[in-house]
Amino acid sequence: MNTAGTQITLLDLHEVNFDTGNGLLPAVVQHAASATVLMVGHMNREALFATLTRRRVVFFSRSKGRLWEKGETSGHYLELVQVQADCDRDALLVSAFPRGPVCHVGSGSCFGDVPETPDDPMAFLARLEEVIGVRMATRPDGSYTAKLLASGSTHIAQKVGEEGIEAARKLAFTGG
């Protein structure tokens, strides 16, 4: 018996119910860290297979009539963490890390940017990850992140270490 929220792997692909919706399943994409809903697309069997094998989210575009990897033209892709099917196995929940803005209008979600709340003091990390993803994909002139990326992994590790020490000192000073 299948249970709700079952993670899908390549071995489970045959158990997903593509018989409804003309072979297309709704695929809700959720940020892997913040659980923010990023977008909704559709997947057929081939799109789900491509998503699982590429580890990037691939949809079936109804308007283009073909497979479409999110970010194929913008470079702002969705890095797959996992796919889960609902209890009927006819809808998918895709957990992913966005590498750049998700929406074509430039926002972090197709449902608008979700404001950070004081209830979640770590919410800024999801936004920081998005900004870094954009810098990695676009490497804009004058970007410190782009310059750091170009300098190589040793310099990146050094900078991450410096920032970690600074954060620890601030926590110690504030008693956090």
| Domain boundaries of the chain, sorted by first residue | 6-98, 123-174
d(CA 149, CA 142): 12
- Please state the pTM of the whole predicted model: 0.65
2-53 pLDDT per residue, tens: 445 557 676 577 788 988 888 999 999 999 888 889 999 999 999 999 999 9
Superfamily of domain 6-98: Phosphoribosyl-AMP cyclohydrolase (3.10.20.810)
141-163 pLDDT per residue, tens: 888 888 888 888 888 888 888 87
Q: Which residues contact 157 (CB under 8 A, 6 or more apart)?
A: none
Sheet strands (E) in the chain: 6-7, 25-31, 37-43, 58-61, 66-69, 78-85, 92-98
